[in-house]
Amino acid sequence: MDLHDGTGTEARFRAYAVDLGSVLGHADRVRPFEDYCVGLLSAEGRKSVEPLAAVTAPERTAAQHQSLLHLVAQAPWSDQAVLTRVRRHVLPSITRDEPIQAWIIDDTGFPKKGSHSVGVARQYCGQLGKQDNCQVAVSLSVATHQGSLPIAYRLYLPKDWADDPVRRAVAGVPDDIRFQTKPEIALQQMRQALASGVAPGVALADPAHGNDSNFRAGITELGLPYAVGIMPSTTVWRPGEAPLPPTPRSGRGRPAKRLRRDETHRPVSAKTLAMELAADAWQQITWRDGSNTPLASRFARLRVRPVHDDAKRNEPAAEEWLLIEWPEGATEPDHYWLSTLPADISFERLVDLTKLRWRIERDYLELKQEVGLGHYEGRGWRGFHHHASLCVAAYGFLVSEKETIPPSEPSRAWRGPRSAVPDGYRPRGAAVAFAAPHAKLHRHAAYPPRTHPGSRPASMPLLRPGAAVAGRAD
């Protein structure tokens, strides 16, 4: 990018990086922080520490590698402090037209070989769509219809890891980290967000979280409404029904207080209820524009009472929305949600808010494919979270710059020239040197040598803003 093109992108990035760097705890970390983010935004291919060092300082790669590695794997700066600064910078750009609409809870997996990387275990990996060796992280994002941003991110530590003092010590797992389920981690992130003053929104989650009744109860205790996915087998009471009242008192003893059911009065699965609905219960609703055509499907909604600890309750659970999607031509419904959004909410608004969860899918796509979220090769707890925070920082700048990209342009997180790994670069342990694909085509975008370790030539091409969230996508 031409730094004299009048866009001011480099100046904005420098101001952004300096402000974020101010919470790193030491002035010597600001330059590596900026370089790491620049590398994430401009390097092609894998974005582990070595290629980032080769791209950002080709004439002093070894020294740069040590500098970046120290920043990400060893330096004791606060991930939460950096994410908080990113949030303060980015939220004004995505809340310009509307306040925060949703808090999106999700988890994402990173396939891994071996058994030494912190938290790695055989577990479900969404990226692979099956059980396999991987790490899994839980995140919380805030979203509007204009964009979204991860504001919390934490590794899920399987129980065999959490209970293994030797592996914990080697990986540097903090003493206060104990085993928590993914929904428990998500609730903790939400509590912290509320305590930090993040504007509330509707909690959105897929069935992996939403099917947990304790998770749903925890969201309600936080004072937030939710619209969360559930499994078709989740049981609810039919509209207008509830558990039977306590058994009438007969004789002496304390009167019964618990609700009950019998053989003729029982809840049903969400799928059973859906399949019983008449044809006119289904309504075609469009919730947003896709890449080529508006996105629409058939939905039905009912007021039901979820089955949650009925036998321990004195009063029936409150009614909620059961939202069901049955696409035209499908043999049966394919999505189910429970929602505590108001009873008088319009059908279109209910679908619109529930479907806003697509934002996190786009965020993870861009964070992984364009910014290198899953490329960190270290094994420790600190490095895993530092790399993620740096990726969110880089991605946050793209989100904040999205207004400079016309909505009609193709979806891609980085629209500027790509910086190639320099010709002749040889990773440690490699038998021969290699050049990145199209290195010659992109050499004009690679970093020129620095005149000394603390300098950056004024002519250095830096950033071209752009993010997929700027345009429309499915």
- Chain segment 448-460, per-residue pLDDT in tens: 333 333 444 333 3
How many Å apart are CA 303 and CA 296, to the nearest integer? 22
Task: Identify whether residues 344 and 443 lie together within a single domain.
Answer: no
Residue 257: inside a domain: no
Which pLDDT band, with edges at 50, 70 and 90, does 309 fall under?
A: low
| Summary mean pLDDT of the chain | 82
Residue 388: inside a domain: no
Residue 261: inside a domain: no
Q: Is the dihedral of CA 441, 445, 451, 454 positive or negative?
A: negative
Is residue 174 over pLDDT 80? yes
Report pLDDT for 246: 61
* Amino acid, res. 275: M
Q: Residue 237 forms beta bridges with which residues?
A: 305
Task: Identify whether residues 100 and 204 lie together within a single domain.
Answer: yes
Three-state DSSP state, 298: strand
Report pLDDT for 387: 96
How many Å apart are CA 379 and CA 310, to the nearest integer? 45
Task: Identify whether residues 305 and 233 lie together within a single domain.
Answer: yes
User: Tens of pLDDT along 211-260?
Assistant: 999 999 999 999 999 999 999 999 999 998 877 666 555 556 555 555 65
CB 363 within 8 A of CB 395: yes
How many Å apart are CA 30 and CA 247, to the nearest integer? 68
Residue 115: inside a domain: yes
End-of-domain residue from the set 316, 341, 363:
363
Three-state DSSP state, 149: strand
User: Tens of pLDDT along 68-111?
Assistant: 999 999 999 999 999 999 999 999 999 999 999 999 999 999 99
Phi/psi of residue 113, nearest 5 degrees:
-95, 155
Task: Identify whether residues 163 and 295 lie together within a single domain.
Answer: yes
Report pLDDT for 270: 97
| Residue 222 vs residue 414, higher pLDDT | 222
End-of-domain residue from the set 363, 384, 414:
363
Task: Identify whether residues 415 and 462 lie together within a single domain.
Answer: yes
How many Å apart are CA 4 and CA 141, to the nearest integer? 35
Which pLDDT band, with edges at 50, 70 and 90, does 43 fall under?
A: confident
CATH number at residue 337: 3.90.350.10
| Residue 120 vs residue 419, higher pLDDT | 120
Q: Distances from the Cα of 247 to the Cαs of 243, 252, 254, 255, 358, in angstroms?
A: 11, 13, 11, 8, 46
CB 108 within 8 A of CB 138: no
Mark 140-150 as b/e (b = at least 16 C-beta within 10 Å).
bbbbbebbbbb
How many Å apart are CA 416 and CA 359, to the nearest integer? 23
Is residue 416 over pLDDT 90? no
Task: Identify whether residues 355 and 226 lie together within a single domain.
Answer: yes
How many Å apart are CA 384 and CA 155, to the nearest integer? 8
The packing angle between helices 61-73 and 30-42, to 10°, is: 100
Which pLDDT band, with edges at 50, 70 and 90, does 308 fall under?
A: confident
CB 461 within 8 A of CB 417: yes
Report pLDDT for 6: 52
Report pLDDT for 335: 97
CB 88 within 8 A of CB 417: no
Is residue 469 over pLDDT 50? no
Encoded tokens for 405:
């990209």
End-of-domain residue from the set 343, 363, 383:
363
Task: Identify whether residues 299 and 335 lie together within a single domain.
Answer: yes
Of 149, 175, 11, 3, the residue nearest 82 (C-alpha): 149
Task: Identify whether residues 72 and 91 lie together within a single domain.
Answer: no
Is residue 473 over pLDDT 80? no
Residue 258: inside a domain: no
Domain that holds residue 343: 86-240+266-363
Residue 197: inside a domain: yes
Of 67, 117, 158, 86, the residue nearest 367 (C-alpha): 86
Report the percent of the chain where pLDDT is more than 70: 78
Residue 299: inside a domain: yes
Compute the average pLDDT of residues 284-311: 87
Report pLDDT for 62: 95
How many Å apart are CA 339 and CA 301, to the nearest integer? 10
Is residue 142 over pLDDT 60? yes
Number of folded domains in the chain? 2
Compute the average pLDDT of residues 147-166: 96
Q: Which helix (H) or strand (E) holds 237?
A: strand 235-237
Q: Distances from the Cα of 269 to the Cαs of 41, 272, 273, 276, 306, in angstroms?
A: 47, 5, 6, 11, 10
Task: Identify whether residues 111 and 46 lie together within a single domain.
Answer: no
Phi/psi of residue 383, nearest 5 degrees:
-65, -40
Task: Identify whether residues 128 and 234 lie together within a single domain.
Answer: yes
Report pLDDT for 433: 42
Which pLDDT band, with edges at 50, 70 and 90, does 129 fall under?
A: confident
Compute the average pLDDT of residues 259-276: 82
Is residue 465 over pLDDT 60? no
Which pLDDT band, with edges at 50, 70 and 90, does 165 fall under?
A: very high
Residue 452: inside a domain: yes
| Residue 319 vs residue 262, higher pLDDT | 319
Task: Identify whether residues 358 and 306 lie together within a single domain.
Answer: yes
Report pLDDT for 302: 97
Task: Identify whether residues 205 and 304 lie together within a single domain.
Answer: yes
| Residue 431 vs residue 267, higher pLDDT | 267
* Amino acid, res. 93: S
Phi/psi of residue 162, nearest 5 degrees:
-60, -30
How many angstroms separate the first and last alpha carbons of the chain? 30
Whole-prediction pTM value? 0.82
